[in-house]
Structure 1
Amino acid sequence: MAEAPRHTTVLLDEAVDALLADVDGWSNGLWVDATFGRGGHSRRILARIPPGARLLAFDKDPEAIQEATRIDDARFSIRHAGFSELADLPPQSAAGVLLDLGVSSPQIDSPERGFSFRFDGPLDMRMDTTRGQSVAEWLADAPVDKIAEVIREYGEERFAGPIAKAIVAWRQERGPLGSTAELADLVAGAVKTREAGQNPATRTFQAFRIFINAELEELQQALEASLSVLAPGGRLVVISFHSLEDRITKQFMALHSKEVFDRRAPFAAPRAMKLEVLARVRPGAAEVAANPRARSAIMRVARRTEA
């Protein structure tokens, strides 16, 4: 039997250090690992939080939920849900929230999940395989303009139009695309030039994964929810792996780290800022050398203010 793909948690020490910087002041605190993945961050958090504290995790992936059953710690619980459901937690109930937005190695390296063009498998890409449309199902009848829009906006792909037209032409001639190999070959034929060292299908696969899982919309919802959920002094830590995620996170933190003046009431006191931006962290050279998937990671850290 082949060995299951292993996952190396990116920025493990840096993220947990940032999240738990004020851990001594939260003897009964609640921390949230909003993207459990394969549990690297959660296990390290549990090793460091006080005996009376708790850790709540979220994940949409049934395989992640199964992995979480291996954690034997009464302080730990997990919900089979996306991290946008942070909004269901009571206001000011959390001492810290961690969002690791990366796709785990077992997801990428499992052909049956359909995330990677490196393996031939069903064209799925759903984080939660128990619900929703797969990429193959969506592409079976999506209009060419919508396909091009998704590839352009979520993949930042300049050949979005030719790729979308090639997908529609394929399904008209041969029926719907069904496998990752078919999609990768089709994209390679439609993309005329590509950056050195990058597979022509990289941006298209990213775009379809983000779209089919509504990743950016869910990130925005989770960030907004964090303002309500975090207690004053609580930490927000977000690890992004591509520019779209990082841009949303950066703009969110910047927006809420400023005093807001109401132009309709120029003499009124400004609305106080809600976040204090603390850090932006990239993986070191040693981590990138040991785990090339870490090279695009950016971690941003903020603290909920007293307001």
Structure 2
Amino acid sequence: MHIPVLLRETLEALDLHSGLTVVDGTVGGGGHSRKILERIQPDGILIGLDRDPLMLQHTATVVTGERSHLCHASYRDLPKVLRELQFEAADRILVDLGLSSDQLADRERGFGFSTSGPLDMRFDVSQGESAAELLSHATSEQLATIFHEFGEERFSRPIAEQIVTQRRGSPIRTASDLVAAIDSALPASIKREARKEPATRVFQALRIAVNRELEHLEHALKNSLYESLRPGGRLVVITFHSLEDRLVKHAFRDETRWQCLHKKPMAPSPQEIRINPRSRSAKLRAAIKLPPITVSASPK
């Protein structure tokens, strides 16, 4: 079952009340959306977006009613979504960049390590190429760059070379195939001392590359999310690795646009981490959109 991360902190940062128009830019399993909808009743509106149509189908079973709209779209396309729904702007926006438990558990998606299902990793299987397709043709240099830049993987080059070597004999089609290639490339001492699954960074890097996640986030922070929020409205972003957090931190430093709600990002409590270990790397940053600065004309 999917457990929403930093739920209490998210609801507090959003500062919800009846009548608000709230956007959940990544509805996922619907955990945050369901609680948001409860808090903005009876007059509020929830607009939920997700790139993953399967997640939207699931969310539609837990987020219901005429006060909610679920849309198959990326949060980077939020201005277009609002126009189509005939809303001028949102009062609150939440973007939770983590994978849902349902996505990780689905053996046909390829997000998890221990699966013999297809290595797909796309949020929307109708868009772009799968992780297996990328691994089948990318050069070792291209793969090493992906693993280094998007996964911050120390052993990006030997892992990339091992993948290219292994695919000559047998295509890498499943998560299990990829884990085996990574395992062959890593030094034994690293595998012994690893505190988490050694394949974590490579899987993260591939998922980011396949879905162009950082491109979506950077564009949205500069344009879509800011444009779609009313002055005085709040944006809450939950990140799960340093690459995402860096982009959010940099965007919120623009004091002409944003007023940060916290000096430091909020993190899950030890109790939450015990209940939901996947929350351990989560960070929440929140900011209020400032009204645009108007420059008065100089007297003649």
TM-score by length of structure 2 reads 0.90
Is the contact made by 2:3 and 2:276 (CA closer than 8 Å) also made in structure 1? yes
1:83 aligns with 2:75: yes
Q: Name the structure 1 match of 2:6.
A: 11
Match for residue 267 of structure 2 among 262, 279, 282: 282
Q: Contact conserved, 2:75 with 2:225, CA < 8 A, in 1?
A: no
Residues 1:54 and 2:39 aligned together: no
Render the CA deviation track for 1:193-252: whole Å, top value 9, x for unaligned.
255322221111111011101011111122121111111110000000111111111111
For structure 1, the residue ranges without an aligned partner over 5 or more in a row are 1-5, 258-272
2:59: which partner in 1?
68
Following the alignment from structure 1 to structure 2, what is the Cα–Cα distance between the partners of residues 166 and 202?
17
Which residue is 1:300 aligned to? Answer: 285
Cα displacement (A) at 1:20: 2.5
1:177 is matched by which residue type in structure 2?
Answer: I
Moved more, 53-62 or 90-99: 90-99
- Partner residue in 1 for 2:158: 162
Structure 1 residues 63-84: Cα deviation after superposition (integer angstroms, max 9, x where no partner)? 1111132232111001111111
1:59, 1:79 within 8 Å by CA — same for their partners in 2? yes
RMSD of the TM alignment (CA)? 1.5
Supply the distance in 1 between the matched residues of 2:31 and 2:167 (Cα, whole angstroms): 41
2:261 match: secondary structure: strand
CA contact (8 A) 1:92 1:228 kept: no
**Which 4+ residue blocks in structure 1 deviate beyond 6 angstroms?**
none
Match of 1:213 among 208, 211, 223: 211
Residue pair 2:53, 2:72 contacting (<8 A) in 1 also: yes
Native 8 Å contact 1:92 1:232 kept in 2? no
Deviations 1:84-117, CA, capped at 9 Å, x for gaps: 1113235961101100000001111121110111
Inter-partner Cα distance in structure 1 for 2:115 and 2:162: 21
Q: Which residue of 1 aligns with 2:298?
A: none
Distance in 1, Cα, partners of 2:183 & 2:130 = 22
Question: Which whole-Å deviations, capped at 9, do the CAs of 1:112-159 have from their partners, x for residues lacking one?
Answer: 110111222211111112322110111111122111100110010111
Equivalent residues in 2 for 1:93-112, closer than 5 Å? 93-112=89-108
Q: Residue 148 of structure 2 contacts residue 154 of structure 2 at CA under 8 Å; is this kept in 1?
A: yes
Query: Residue 172 in 1 paired to residue 157 in 2?
Result: no
User: 2:180 aligned with 1:185, yes or no?
Assistant: yes
* TM-score, L = length of structure 1: 0.88
Paired residues of 1:34 and 1:100 also in contact (CA < 8 A): yes
Partners of 1:189 and 1:172 lie apart in 2 by 15
In 2: Cα distance, 1:69 partner to 1:131 partner? 22
Residues in 2 aligned to 1:118 and 1:179: alpha-carbon distance in whole angstroms: 9
For 1:246, the equivalent position in structure 2 comes to 245
Q: Which amino acid aligns with 2:195?
A: G
Number of residue equivalences? 281
Match of 1:291 in 2: 276
Please tell me whether the aligned partners of residues 35 and 83 of structure 1 are also in contact (alpha carbons under 8 angstroms).
yes
Query: Is the CA contact (8 Å cut-off) linking 1:148 and 1:161 kept in structure 2?
Result: yes
Say if 2:115 and 2:174, in contact at 8 Å, map to a contact too: no
Q: Distance in 1 between matches of 2:53 and 2:111?
A: 16
Aligned to 1:3: none
| Residues 87, 222 of structure 1: 8 Å contact kept | no
Letter in 1 for 2:219: Q
Q: Identical aligned pairs, as a percentage?
A: 42
Task: Tell me which moved more, 184-193 or 79-88.
Answer: 79-88
